Amino acid sequence: MTDEDDMREVSRELPALDVDPDAAARIASAARRGRPLRRTIEVVLVVLVAAGFLAWAVMKVLEALR
């Protein structure tokens, strides 16, 4: 037997795991609806703030080097 066969044999004894039906329905529904607009806006804002800070820091470094 190969390591693959061995691993499959022993893994058959592992109990199956599952989310409870309510959680499964909630997860499926949330995934189908997609990411909420608020979350998308949050991500955009964080990226803008980070990019702005980075640009400011680069300008300051360039100023100091002049």
Partner 1 sequence: MRCAYVESEDAWLDGLRRGEPGAFDAVFAAYRKRVYGYLVRMTRRRDVAEDLLQETFLRLAQHARSLVDGTRFGAWLFTVAHRLVVSWARAQQVRAQLAGDLPAEPVAPDRSPRDALADSQAHAALERAFAALPPAYREVALLVGVEGMQPTEVAQILGLRPDAVRQRLARARAQLADALGDHAPAAWRAR
Rounded to the nearest whole angstrom, what is the least distance from the CB of residue 61 to partner 1 in the complex? 26
In the structure encoding, which two tokens stand for residue 49, read together? Answer: 């703030």
**Polymer length of the chain:** 66
CA–CA gap between residue 38 and residue 16 (Å, rounded): 36
Binding segment toward partner 1, per CB under 8 A, in 1-9, 40-48, 50-58:
1-9
| Residue 44 makes contact with partner 1 by CB under 8 A | no
Under 8 Å CB-to-CB from 1, ≥6 apart: which residues?
Answer: 9
Question: Rounded to the nearest whole angstrom, what is the least distance from the CB of residue 24 to partner 1 in the complex?
Answer: 6
Q: Which of 19, 44, 48, 54 binds partner 1 (CB under 8 A)?
A: 19
